Chain A
Amino acid sequence: MLLRDPFTKALHDARRSLAGWAVAIVAVGSMYAAFWPTMRTPEMADALAAYPEGLLEAFNYSDLTSAAGYLGSAVYGLLVPLLVAVFAIAAGTRAVAGDEEAGTLDLVLAHPVGRARLALLRFAAVAVGVVLVTALLGLALVALRGPAQLGDIDVGGFAAMTLHLALFGLAFAAGAYAAGAATGRRAVALGTGAGVAVLGFLANSVFPQVEGLAWAQRLSPFHWYLGGSPLVDGVQPVGVLLLLGSTVLLVAAGTAAFARRDVAV
């Protein structure tokens, strides 16, 4: 029964938005993957060669000559992580701050549920959603391997990429969750998430082209997620640990702050 506890209730409440995001992200990812056969033509390669290199790099379009290069840039490098970040930030915000600003958190907290427990169960539901959506995308792309001529990428590569993407989404969800849990304000949660996403994106793709700012790339969640080409070279332990570590730290800090403060009406 989905109305059993705060965890299942959160999943129940998110069912429509979850379905929407899953469809959107899987559709965008599959559509781009399906373009790959048309990208292999020499004309396309020439056309792309005409673009300034900096621009392509800014869009994470580093290597468009192999299936892994194309997928890593066009699908996993730009649109999909941005969509996943937006989805995760929205879900992380809703977990505490959204509910609190709507005035509906009061009622649940007046029941026999611990503050920290409630918040953690809500985050767990968000995490399940992120994992579900990213896993569906991974499955869709594995299913497209044949039809879209993605045969050079093995299933292990997709699995590694999916793990990285899921952890990337979790880190953003955790950031928005923590900011929202600590302050109770939706705008703060959304703003923090969006700010980190934009800065992280720039730090990974644009700053490295600026002299003296290359170091910033190593602080970017986009770098932790994409660095080392998980699609080709498998799971990258450093990136995985950084994403996982920041998620755990953010969730712990946000939950602790939430348990200590006043709940707004």
Chain B
Amino acid sequence: MAEPAIHTEGLVKTYGRNRGLTGLDLRVEPGEVYGFLGPNGAGKSTTIRLLLDLIRPTAGRVRVLGADPRRDGVALRRRIGYLAGDFVVDGRQTARELLTYLGNLRGGVPRARVDALAARLDLDLGRPIRGLSKGNRQKVGVVQAFMHSPELLILDEPTSGLDPFLQHEFLAMVREARAEGRTVFMSSHVMSEVQQTADRVGIVRDGRMVTVARVEELRERAVRKVEVTFAEPVDAAEFAALPGVSEVTVAGTVLRCRLDGRADALVKAAAAHTAVGLLCEEPDLEELFFGYYSREEATRAVA
């Protein structure tokens, strides 16, 4: 198997008395989109800043693209595009000036590439950054992270401040980056945006990884609401006992239930009747995300 794009083992970071990370094991494979989820203060930004050598680990091992961020930082950062959680720059310059400078630090980025990205995000490069709205400033951050087509994109809450249309456009850019073989590591608070693009998600809490899963598996495991309309009234009891099915209610010919996991048993049971309509909600992974938190609380309470 190829060397992981990001690999940390037992990563610990303490800030004086505050704990940032308490032993994070993370493995991001090359070419995948990895969603890094967690509540406020979980340690997402801490992890990301360690990967870029902006801060140094208290203990543990970090390797990014096969290199040590501390020792080979300069060469490594050439291959990375980074968007900080709070993207701040000196507001007196125009976006064009800033991007030219940052491009020069990377040995030059074609002007056409910057223009194309700006046009795509509908960003005016000629105005002083001070005068831009929060979302437009965030766009400058997105452009500087993508403009040199890096092998690895490390994005800390990249869509914060972007409107739904631009979030959509951004996610399309992430998918394109993956199609070109790049690796994307992005943090987020919201499962819904991650589930649209990510291959895998890792959920971090209190400075360590709680769970890592493929998004497809999560989808399979997720709870969804199902509504089946039959030609004639059905008996709720017949469905209540099925595996994965719960909260069954029947109102006339309409059956409503929650489906946890595979649909097979429910579909087969329904096929015994004449089904005239079937409605199945897209699984809400957000709920699953909360589920992990509460499960975590529960195991703690036991221990």
A residues apposed to B, CB below 8 Å: 1, 3-6, 9, 13, 102-104, 106-114, 261-263, 265
Find out whether the CB atom of B100 lies under 8 angstroms from the CB atom of A263.
no
Q: Would you call B82 an interface residue if the criterion is a C-beta within 8 Å of the partner chain's C-beta atoms?
A: yes
Q: Mark B250-287, 1 if CB is under 8 A from A, else 0.
A: 00000000000000000000000000000000000000
Find out whether the CB atom of B73 lies under 8 angstroms from the CB atom of A5.
no
Find out whether the CB atom of B101 lies under 8 angstroms from the CB atom of A109.
no
Which bucket holds chain B's interface residue count? 20 to 34
Which of B45, B75, B88 is close to A102, meaning CB atoms less than 8 Å apart? B88
Q: Would you call B21 an interface residue if the criterion is a C-beta within 8 Å of the partner chain's C-beta atoms?
A: no
Find out whether the CB atom of A104 lies under 8 angstroms from the CB atom of B90.
yes
Which of B45, B84, B86, B107 is close to A110, meaning CB atoms less than 8 Å apart? B84
Which residues of chain B have C-beta atoms less than 8 A from A4's C-beta?
104
Which residues of chain B have C-beta atoms less than 8 A from A103's C-beta?
86, 88
The distance in angstroms between the C-alpha atoms of A112 and B53, with both chains bound, is 11
Find out whether the CB atom of B56 lies under 8 angstroms from the CB atom of A262.
yes
B residues apposed to A, CB below 8 Å: 45, 49, 52-56, 73-75, 77-78, 80, 82, 84-90, 92, 97, 100-102, 104-107, 144
Can you name 30 A-B residue pairings with CB atoms under 8 Å?
A3-B97, A3-B101, A3-B104, A5-B104, A102-B88, A103-B86, A104-B88, A106-B49, A106-B84, A107-B87, A107-B102, A109-B52, A109-B53, A109-B54, A110-B52, A110-B54, A110-B77, A110-B80, A112-B74, A112-B78, A112-B107, A113-B74, A113-B77, A113-B105, A114-B73, A261-B56, A263-B49, A265-B45, A265-B49, A265-B84
Task: Using CB atoms, name the residue of chain B closest to A261.
Answer: B56
The distance in angstroms between the C-alpha atoms of A263 and B100, with both chains bound, is 24
Max chain B Cβ within 10 angstroms of own Cβ: one of A9, A102, A111, A263: A111
The distance in angstroms between the C-alpha atoms of A136 and B161, with both chains bound, is 47
Which of B49, B82, B89, B105 is close to A104, meaning CB atoms less than 8 Å apart? B89
The distance in angstroms between the C-alpha atoms of A152 and B75, with both chains bound, is 58
Find out whether the CB atom of A265 lies under 8 angstroms from the CB atom of B86.
yes
Task: Using CB atoms, name the residue of chain A closest to B52.
Answer: A110
Which of B49, B86, B87, B105 is close to A112, meaning CB atoms less than 8 Å apart? B105
B138 to chain A, nearest CB (A): 13
Known: A3-B97, A102-B90, A265-B86. A114 touches B74 (CB 8 A): yes
The distance in angstroms between the C-alpha atoms of A111 and B89, with both chains bound, is 14
Find out whether the CB atom of B55 lies under 8 angstroms from the CB atom of A9.
no
Find out whether the CB atom of A108 lies under 8 angstroms from the CB atom of B88.
no
A99 to chain B, nearest CB (A): 8
A73 to chain B, nearest CB (A): 40
Task: Using CB atoms, name the residue of chain A closest to B48.
Answer: A110
Max chain A Cβ within 10 angstroms of own Cβ: one of B54, B74, B75, B78: B54
Which residues of chain A have C-beta atoms less than 8 A from B78's C-beta?
112
A82 to chain B, nearest CB (A): 28
Task: Using CB atoms, name the residue of chain B closest to A109.
Answer: B54
The distance in angstroms between the C-alpha atoms of A4 and B103, with both chains bound, is 9
Task: Using CB atoms, name the residue of chain A closest to B141.
Answer: A107
Which of B55, B87, B102 is close to A262, meaning CB atoms less than 8 Å apart? B55
B62 to chain A, nearest CB (A): 14
Task: Using CB atoms, name the residue of chain B closest to A13.
Answer: B90
Which of B55, B73, B105, B107 is close to A108, meaning CB atoms less than 8 Å apart? B105
Closest 10 CB pairs of A and B: A262-B55, A112-B78, A103-B88, A110-B82, A3-B101, A111-B105, A112-B77, A263-B54, A112-B74, A3-B100
The distance in angstroms between the C-alpha atoms of A5 and B100, with both chains bound, is 10
Which residues of chain B have C-beta atoms less than 8 A from A263's C-beta?
49, 54-55
The distance in angstroms between the C-alpha atoms of A114 and B53, with both chains bound, is 10
The distance in angstroms between the C-alpha atoms of A104 and B55, with both chains bound, is 15
Which residues of chain A have C-beta atoms less than 8 A from B104's C-beta?
1, 3-5
The distance in angstroms between the C-alpha atoms of A151 and B128, with both chains bound, is 50
Which residues of chain B have C-beta atoms less than 8 A from A261's C-beta?
56
The distance in angstroms between the C-alpha atoms of A13 and B97, with both chains bound, is 11
Known: A110-B82, A113-B74, A262-B56. A9 touches B88 (CB 8 A): no
Which residues of chain A have C-beta atoms less than 8 A from B144's C-beta?
107
A24 to chain B, nearest CB (A): 21
B246 to chain A, nearest CB (A): 45
